[in-house]
């Protein structure tokens, strides 16, 4: 019965060149592979504008096989004084955002070996903080109302800095693959987050734009070029 739905003949020999041409013109998306636990490997990302933020949406694609009671740093922005904006996977697997002190934690599906598209957004006026996993929105929590993220720090992928670009702890390092780190200085609408998740480049990140971002590599980090 299934054969009836196959439709007319299957001209694979003719469609193949088209497919290849389409493939060749599609953009490559680089990703960062952190192959092992270290206290030395990291990537510094240079923002396109000041990190003086009263709202943001931060997105990334992330896959890690780290499990069990293991903190995993996913994004760290630190000034001389303090952690300004850090995203973690906690010891118990929850995802969290920390801005200058106590964090806000979310109970969400676990990160794993399959790539997850993760976003977190925050707005100073309302304090509304929301995670998105593969385009799906979490509950909203109220966090750091009237706060401002301060400029002048460094963005580090792969390590948590306990002082200014130093004091790394291997047991908090990132191991796995991470890519497509983009940041906007406003809260993206839910529909736009879904577009970003499926790879539609509707709005380029004004603060961090993965396609053009300058990356400073340190230690054992491999850059992969993946077809989108
Ligand atoms: Ca630390």
Question: In this model, does residue 156 exceed pLDDT 90?
Answer: yes
What is the domain range of residue 113?
33-227
Residue 99, domain member (yes or no)? yes
What's the pLDDT at 24? 44
What's the pLDDT at 227? 80
Residue 27, domain member (yes or no)? no
Residue 3, domain member (yes or no)? no
From the number of C-beta atoms within 10 Å of its C-beta (0-12, 13-18, 19+), residue 27 rates as exposed
Strands 103-106 and 222-227: unpaired
What's the pLDDT at 27? 62
pLDDT, tens digit (0-9, with 9 covering 90-100), for 50-92: 999 999 999 999 999 998 899 999 999 999 999 999 999 999 9
Terminus-to-terminus CA distance in the chain, angstroms? 35
Alpha helices in 108-227 (DSSP H): 190-197
Work out how many domains the chain is built from and give that number: 1
Distance 171 CA to ligand 1 centre (A): 9
Residue 13, domain member (yes or no)? no
Q: Cα(91)–Cα(159) distance, rounded to whole angstroms?
A: 16
Q: Cα(82)–Cα(110) distance, rounded to whole angstroms?
A: 28
Distance 160 CA to ligand 1 centre (A): 5
Q: Cα(50)–Cα(37) distance, rounded to whole angstroms?
A: 31
- Give the strand order in the sheet containing 176-184: 136-142, 128-133, 116-123, 55-63, 176-184, 28-34, 222-227
CATH of the domain at 114: 2.60.120.200
Residue 20, domain member (yes or no)? no
Q: Cα(89)–Cα(65) distance, rounded to whole angstroms?
A: 12
Q: Which residues are in the CB-under-5-Å shell of ion ligand 1? A: 160, 162, 169
Distance 140 CA to ligand 1 centre (A): 27
Residue 150, domain member (yes or no)? yes
Distance 80 CA to ligand 1 centre (A): 14
Distance 118 CA to ligand 1 centre (A): 22
Strands 128-133 and 116-123: antiparallel
Residue 22, domain member (yes or no)? no
Q: Report the share of the chain in percent with pLDDT over 90.
A: 81
Residue 4, domain member (yes or no)? no
Q: What is the pTM of this model?
A: 0.88
> Strand ranges (DSSP E) for the chain?
28-34, 42-45, 55-63, 72-78, 83-89, 95-98, 103-106, 116-123, 128-133, 136-142, 154-157, 176-184, 215-218, 222-227
């Amino acid at each position: 019965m299934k054969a009836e739905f196959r439709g007319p003949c299957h001209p694979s020999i003719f469609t193949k060149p088209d497919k290849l041409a389409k493939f060749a013109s599609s953009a490559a998306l680089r990703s960062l592979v952190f192959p092992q636990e270290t206290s030395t490997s990291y990537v510094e990302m240079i923002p396109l504008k000041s990190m003086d933020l009263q709202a943001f949406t931060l997105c990334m694609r992330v896959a890690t096989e780290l499990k069990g009671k293991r903190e995993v740093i996913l994004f760290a922005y630190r000034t001389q004084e303090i952690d300004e904006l850090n995203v973690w996977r906690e010891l118990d697997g929850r995802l969290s955002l920390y801005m200058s002190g106590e964090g806000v934690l979310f109970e969400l599906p676990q990160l794993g070996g399959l790539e997850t598209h993760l976003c977190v957004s925050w707005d100073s006026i309302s304090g509304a903080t929301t995670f998105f996993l593969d385009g799906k929105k979490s509950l909203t929590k109220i966090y750091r109302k009237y706060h401002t993220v301060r400029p002048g720090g460094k963005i580090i992928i792969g390590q948590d800095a306990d002082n200014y670009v130093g004091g790394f702890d291997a047991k908090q390092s990132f191991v796995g693959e991470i890519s497509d780190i983009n940041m906007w200085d406003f809260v993206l609408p839910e529909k736009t987050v879904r577009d970003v998740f499926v790879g539609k480049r509707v709005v380029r990140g004004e603060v961090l734009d993965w396609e053009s971002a300058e990356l400073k590599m340190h230690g054992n980090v491999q850059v992969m070029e993946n077809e989108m």
